[in-house]
Amino acid sequence: MRYDQTNEKVKGDKIMPFVHVELMEGRSLEQLENMMKDITEAVHKNTQAPKEHIHVIINEMKKGTYGVNGEWKK
């Protein structure tokens, strides 16, 4: 089931937003959990997708595996 802009159910489809977050490692599990909850709330508020259909994937990058302007971010 999908929700249109008037929040009416549209037969047949499901809205299943996937949000991918890439960030440097080093945050606590509590910080990541709070971020996941905040992202879920924001997506729900702006799309009216049911929270149980919103997927948040957080990928933590190891230090030394990411660079900007030709230099490693440490």
In a domain, 48, yes or no: yes
Number of structural domains the chain divides into:
1
In a domain, 27, yes or no: yes
Give the pTM: 0.74
In a domain, 36, yes or no: yes
What CATH code is carried by the domain that includes residue 25?
3.30.429.10
Greater model confidence, 8 or 67: 67
Reported in sequence order, the residue ranges of the chain that DSSP labels E, i.e. its strands, are: 2-3, 9-10, 18-24, 55-61, 67-68, 71-72
Overall average pLDDT of the 48-73 stretch: 91
Annotated catalytic residue within 17, 19, 53, 58? 17
Say whether 50 is catalytic: no
In a domain, 31, yes or no: yes
Q: Which domain holds residue 47?
A: 16-63
Overall average pLDDT of the 56-72 stretch: 91
| Confidence at residue 1, expressed as pLDDT on a 0 to 100 scale | 41
61 with 22: CB under 8 angstroms? yes
